[in-house]
Amino acid sequence: MKSLYERLRARRLASVFVLLATLSAVIVGGSFAAHGVRAQEKQNSSADATPLKVVNSTVLPNEFVKIAKEVGPAVVNINTRTLPKQVAGKGRRNFHGRVQPVPQQPGDDDQDEDQNPQQGQNQGQGNMQDFFNRFFGGQMPDTEGGDDGQVRQSLGSGFIVDPKGYIITNYHVIDKADEIYVKLSTDPDNQDLGRRARVIGFDKSTDLAVIKIEASTPLPTVKLGNSETAQVGDWVEAIGSPFALAQTVTAGIISAKNRTIEPGANGQFQHFIQTDAAINPGNSGGPLLNMNGEVIGVNTAIFTQSGGYQGLGFAMPSNTVVEVYNDLISPSHKVTRGSIGIIFRQDLSGAVNRVYGFKNGVLVQEITAGGPAEKAGLKVGDILTTIDGRPIKDGDDLVNEIASRRPGSSIRLGLMREGKQTDATVTIGDRDKVFADLGNQQAEKDSEEKGDPGEAKLGIVVREVTPATAAKLHTTGVVIQSVRSGSFADLQGLEPGLVIIRINKQPTGNKEQFDAVVGKIKTGDDVVFEIMDPRHPDQGINYVGGTLQ
């Protein structure tokens, strides 16, 4: 048997051998690891790479660069604010003054139907409104406010044409706005909204407006070019504020000229330049420029299925813009157009032309009672063939010629009546007045046909109050039975159950009195209702009203 000493010595030798083996393994492993690291470092080495340098070369500026630098300072960003009390197009003011949503009816849109573009699409276009998005300048609302309504903001563009601060833009950019602000390219970015602007005048028929800002020093301006000399295929450049990105420049060509994109009366004064220069929400009112840096159009509309650019943009020609601008800065601040008070239909079939025996001309289908045409002896069925001896091509030709004449001047119309050639001298009337009279006639006609002027004009059906209600209110009147959604009465906040005691200070104590008062109201008149609520007779009389459109 081994001694204790021998056993301890054997254990120490075994421990040494284990330690030596471990150290050998670590040394060998470290050697391989070091070798791997050195290989990896060699593989990832970039010692032979050459640092990059920016080449200091100069690219000669092209015409687009020159135009952007020259015209950019005169292009402005326009912001508008519409306060809650003005949001009648999207809601109604109820009896207690709060705004309530009104469900949209088929064919409804954000603007009044008598306002040209953006403003009442023709019902016959069917689904055209789904992808013809005209008023893209106001599609980025930023809302704030609480239960009493919303403050709505919209964005557009414009350009300075007079160093004193006169700016051209689209009417739909500033329509219904309570506050208008303009930002110049030189204004600081941190400036909240910009400089306050005021409206000088607007023209719904061409969707143009003139606004003005105050300036202590002369402002940069654009030059107006001749849109008539522009040709299909010419290069053009657009500058504006799409999606709030100010001073955005895009380029393209003129794709077509004389485009009428809205049929009927709404499109009679809208013959656009079509371009494929990228135009998007916020470009409304910005300039379309030729390669001389001259404005040849005001970017107004797009045709789109997505709400954004799809290669079809439309600009109001500068020659039209100049004529409208000069009228809007005149003392009257309005565009006055001539009219003879007739209604005709465009694009009659060849069969109509052959049966009535004419190739070119206009077939009169309706005449405004008491208007210039009727006074001159024109009749329904007359075919207008010449104006002051010049052949009439079509309805657009006739409208443009007559609209350019001043009210009070005379024209000589050649016409065919029952196959015989004759003529008539017609005194030009004011288009606005002539067609306002026509609208009043139609309203009266509708009232007669429906037999209820309250329903036809105001959109309400009424009946006389009961003796009990009269006693509770200490007065007589008519109680509202129903209110047509979206009607004038609805937008004023009238509701079934309310009692109307007077309209425009005239008593409406019974249905006969109510019909007599309403029967005299015409389009454009102010209408004020004196209302009482039988549920709250202690509140007394409330006054609500607006202008009948």
8 Å CB contact between 409 and 401: no
Q: And the tokens for 226?
A: 């001749």
Cα-Cα end-to-end distance for the chain: 127
Name the residue among 333, 320, 287, 299 with its Cα closest to residue 172.
299
Residue 205 annotated in active site: no
Query: What CA–CA distance (Å, rounded) separates 531 from 361?
Result: 53
d(CA 548, CA 528): 10
Tokens describing residue 150 = 């919303």
Beta strands in 260-378 (DSSP E): 272-275, 287-289, 294-302, 313-317, 338-339, 342-344, 362-367
Give catalytic status of residue 333 as yes or no.
Answer: no
Given the DSSP bridges, would you call strands 223-224 and 294-302 parallel, antiparallel or unpaired?
parallel
Name beta bridge partners: 159. 75, 168
CA 297 to mean position of chain CA atoms: 17
Per annotation, catalytic residue among 241, 284, 447, 487: 284
Here the tokens at position 193 are 């909204």
- Give CA–CA dist 533/480, Å, rounded: 11
Active-site option among 175, 203, 207, 327? 207
Q: Is 538 a catalytic site residue?
A: no
Report the distance separating Cα 312 and Cα 293, nearest Å: 22
Give the residue from 226, 426, 431, 174 showing the smallest Cα distance to 327: 431
Task: Report DSSP state, residue 274.
Answer: E
Considering 154, 157, 172, 339, which one is annotated as catalytic? 172
Catalytic residues: 172, 207, 284
